[in-house]
Amino acid sequence: MISDFSALSNRIFQAATRDYHLKDDVNAPIKNPYERMTIEYYLYLKNWIDAVQWHLEDIIRNPHIDPVEALALKRRIDKSNQDRTDLVEMIDSYFYDQFKSVRPQADAVINTESPAWAIDRLSILELKIYHMTIEAERADAPEEQRKKCGEKLAVLLEQRKDLSSAIDQLLSDIQEGKRYMKVYKQMKMYNDPSLNPVLYGKK
């Protein structure tokens, strides 16, 4: 599975993106088709969370939105970001467990980002491709706009190909001991009542 992990990820991200847009509702319940606690389950859930947040970000930018609703949406987006980060750490823990028996070579180096954070970018990229495809084909949009969106879509598709290749190469390098990985748990301070001055100052 490690050798073609990007293919697995892209396949699941495409399915989750398609499934979300069947109802296209940020409140629609998720129906994850994969067994809980599996990497496939986490990948599907990751993209679903990304899809919901994508649309929450659209909604909150409505210039006529009610301020009370906007505040509730902002807090929901904050919670979504936390869930997203938690899932990235779970996926990295999966990789860490897969490679725990690998002995790094003497000249092994660490990557600038972990495998799961690269997978995170792949999930977001799938959503960009989905929505740019719609814009490139939108009949009620000006022809010049559709053309520009088509050009952007071509770049996004190339980016997915390149990122997928880079992810598989990174995983291969870790598996062969050419690179090694660490799992850094999040150090977010603003959600911690004991570290956010606004929160602990109110006590």
Taking only the tens place, the pLDDT of each residue in 136-166 is 999 999 999 999 999 999 999 999 999 999 9
Residue 110: strand pairing partners = 180
The per-residue pLDDT for 185 is: 73
Instruction: Decide if pLDDT at 83 tops 70.
Output: yes
- The pTM of this model reads 0.91
Instruction: Decide if pLDDT at 194 tops 90.
Output: no
Mean pLDDT of 155-184: 95
Instruction: Decide if pLDDT at 75 tops 60.
Output: yes
Among 77-86, 100-109, 173-182, 193-202, which stretch is predicted with the lowest mean pLDDT? Answer: 193-202
Distances 194 to 85, 95, 190, 197, 202 between C-alpha atoms, Å: 20, 31, 9, 8, 11
Mean pLDDT of 95-102: 95
Two structure tokens written together for 141: 């949009």
Task: Name the band, by pLDDT with cuts 50, 70 and 90, for residue 202.
Answer: low
Contact yes or no for 22/51 (Cβ under 8 A): no
The per-residue pLDDT for 195 is: 75
Instruction: Decide if pLDDT at 108 tops 70.
Output: yes
Task: Name the band, by pLDDT with cuts 50, 70 and 90, for residue 1.
Answer: low
Query: Where do the structural domains in the chain lie, given as residue ranges?
Result: 2-191
The per-residue pLDDT for 198 is: 76
Task: Name the band, by pLDDT with cuts 50, 70 and 90, for residue 203.
Answer: low
Cβ neighbours for 199, distance < 8 A, ≥ 6 positions apart:
192, 193
| Whole-number Å distance between alpha carbons of 15 and 120 | 16
SS3 of residue 110 by DSSP: strand
SS3 of residue 39 by DSSP: helix
Two structure tokens written together for 30: 């998720």
Residue identified by tokens 């997203």 is 84
Among 13-22, 125-134, 176-185, which stretch is predicted with the lowest mean pLDDT? Answer: 176-185
Element (H, E) at 26: none
Mean pLDDT of 185-199: 74
| Whole-number Å distance between alpha carbons of 81 and 139 | 34
As to burial, measured by CB atoms within 10 angstroms (0-12 exposed, 13-18 middle, 19+ buried), residue 95 is buried
